[in-house]
Chain A
């Protein structure tokens, strides 16, 4: 099972990062960034399998992809935003982390507006 590999890999990386944290904190942060990236790259196939399953279900109950694509985009933006914000917070820069999260929220809101408009239109047409 991959989870054992991932946890072992993360624990080794934590030990290495703690060793370096005293003398070279900047390299310790870069180790944590690389661990995050490595674990994500390990899970690509699982994530793409889940996403293709989602698309398949959406096409089965004939939701056209106009609504599915923003959802995928929002998920991607959310993931990258939390990745960046957590790295910033881990490095002790809480202010930068909250700025990154703020930007992520704005971008997600921008993506969500068309879907909201569609919902409002359908509601208005339904109501007399």
Chain B
């Protein structure tokens, strides 16, 4: 149970970190690096979300016999 709650806070932390980094990089004039960090943050969060989604789909598959 606790694992999923931590997942939420991890994703939120990554999101806030990326947006702060983005602002810092934009202010210091490096727009392309800002774009890179944004993409990197999104990719990391997407990996975590996709593992959760696959867990959900496997659970539903076994529970409702949706093979």
Chain A interface, >50% SS class: helix
Contact flags (1/0) for A14-48 with B, using CB distance below 8 Å? 00110110011011101101110110111010011
A107 CB → nearest B CB, Å: 10
Whether A37 lies near B56 (C-beta < 8 A) is yes
Number of B positions contacting A (CB below 8 A) = 33
Which B residues are in CB contact (< 8 Å) with A28?
A: 15
Which chain A residues border B56 with CB–CB below 8 Å? Answer: 37, 40-41
Compute the total of residue contacts between A and B using a CB distance below 8 Å: 95
A37 contacts B12, CB within 8 Å?
Answer: no
- When C-beta atoms are compared, the residue in chain B nearest to A40 turns out to be B56
Q: What chain A residues lie within 8 Å of B14 (beta carbons)? A: 27
- Residue contact B64 to A73, C-beta cutoff 8 Å: yes
Residues of B close to A42: CB separation below 8 A: 1, 4
Contact count band on A: 35 or more
A37 touches B52 (CB 8 A): yes
Q: Which of B41, B46, B53, B60 contacts A79 (CB 8 A)?
A: B60
**Residues of B bordering A, CB below 8 Å:** 1, 4-5, 7-9, 11-12, 14-16, 18-19, 22, 38, 41-42, 45-46, 48-49, 52-53, 55-57, 59-61, 63-66
7 closest A-B pairs (Cβ-Cβ)? A76-B64, A38-B4, A27-B15, A23-B19, A16-B12, A20-B15, A76-B66
